[in-house]
Amino acid sequence: MLTKVRYSTREMVHWTRWETLGFFVFSGIVVLLYDTFGLTFLNVPWTPVALIGTAVAFMVGFQNNAAYGRIWEARKIWGGIVNTSRTWGMKTKDMVTNEHAQLPLPEAELKEIRRVLVYRHIAWLTALRHAMRQTKKWEAFEHHRTNREWSKIIHIPEKIFSLEDDLFHYLEADEWEYILSKKNKAAATLYLQSKHIRELKEKGLIWEFAFLELENILEELFTLQGKSERIKNFPYPRQYATLSHLFVWIFLILFPFGIVPEFAKISSHLSDSFSWSWCFTWLAIPFCTLVSWVFHTMQRIGTVGENPFEGSANDVPISTISRGIEIDLRQLLDEDHALIPKQLP
């Protein structure tokens, strides 16, 4: 656990290295002008700076709580998708039988029907995760240099492979063309599922009660899809995000002008006791850098957490979750392990 904490801290510092350098240089310039060049008028009373800092802390805390709430809700939704997907695989395997069939089919054909139902479900997962990765105009994660670095490191599959290529592995050609012709491709996939199980019910390959059970699962999948789309399509209120960003930077700019005079006062009080007291003012540089780093990093964490499907290092790993579901379902079909894809790194 300690190793993980150290690794996380190191990566966090690396993620914010350019801003940290900027804070260090800015506070150094303020100290240089105040202490070396004697521009002592460059000061802001500490009381208003402290009040602004308190207000900013509350606002950043509110933003982080709201962002975490969106991430946690998205994770619960996709946890529900995992459970419902396993239920779908289990019930299609056990409910597609010749027990009530008008014209019984060979077991090989029944197995193929089950495979089509399971593969179409994997296609639904594929269409949904691609839809969740589409860039919205309010998503600004990729605008930042270090965020783009993270995107390259974690290799987001939806940004490497197209939806057309991914769907081609799970659908027949006519279904592939039909789904790609629709705007909401995930919903179109569930429509095909409903149509297919109705046809199976009419042939007696699915008992009427089993048909209702499978329809209930499709209804639950529609519900989970709608919840996921709600988070994706409704952003964190921009007035809060914009004001938080603005107020943080106002505080970061004013902070050195308020804290450097305070360090200078301490330096003057120590001048009678210590010969090196003159350098105490310069200790404001690392202090300003540290405090500025804390406020700015918390604000950035809240910003990247606003959109849990955007592809940041801390969002919901929908690609990994989808691949895990695919592996479970294809193992349920007793496929050759060599043909089942491995989990994403």
Question: Tens digit of pLDDT for each residue in 154-179?
Answer: 778 998 899 999 999 999 999 999 99
332 inside domain: yes
168 inside domain: yes
Residue 273: per-residue pLDDT:
62
What is the rounded CA–CA span in Å between residue 149 and residue 146?
5
What is the rounded CA–CA span in Å between residue 252 and residue 298?
13
What is the rounded CA–CA span in Å between residue 39 and residue 246?
27
Percentage of residues in the chain having pLDDT higher than 90: 66
Residue 324: per-residue pLDDT:
96
DSSP 36: I
Question: Which of the residue ranges 81-95, 180-194, 278-292 would you say has the lowest mean pLDDT?
Answer: 278-292
- Position 2 confidence tier, pLDDT thresholds 50, 70, 90: very low
218 inside domain: yes
Q: Are the C-beta atoms of 67 and 305 separated by less than 8 Å?
A: yes
Q: Which domain holds residue 176?
A: 76-236+320-345
80 inside domain: yes
State how many domains the chain has: 1
Residue 5: per-residue pLDDT:
44
119 inside domain: yes
Burial class (CB in 10 A: 0-12, 13-18, 19+), 168: middle
What mean pLDDT is predicted for residues 231-243?
86
The answer to whether residue 109 scores a pLDDT higher than 90 is yes
The answer to whether residue 286 scores a pLDDT higher than 90 is yes
The answer to whether residue 320 scores a pLDDT higher than 90 is yes
The answer to whether residue 288 scores a pLDDT higher than 90 is yes
Non-local CB neighbours of 326 within 8 Å, separated by 6+ positions:
122, 125, 340, 341
What is the rounded CA–CA span in Å between residue 307 and residue 70?
8
pTM summary value: 0.87
What is the rounded CA–CA span in Å between residue 100 and residue 154?
49
Residue 148: per-residue pLDDT:
77
- Position 305 confidence tier, pLDDT thresholds 50, 70, 90: confident
10 inside domain: no
Question: Tens digit of pLDDT for each residue in 256-280?
Answer: 999 998 888 887 776 666 656 667 7
What mean pLDDT is predicted for residues 139-151?
76
114 inside domain: yes
303 inside domain: no
DSSP 338: T
- Position 330 confidence tier, pLDDT thresholds 50, 70, 90: very high
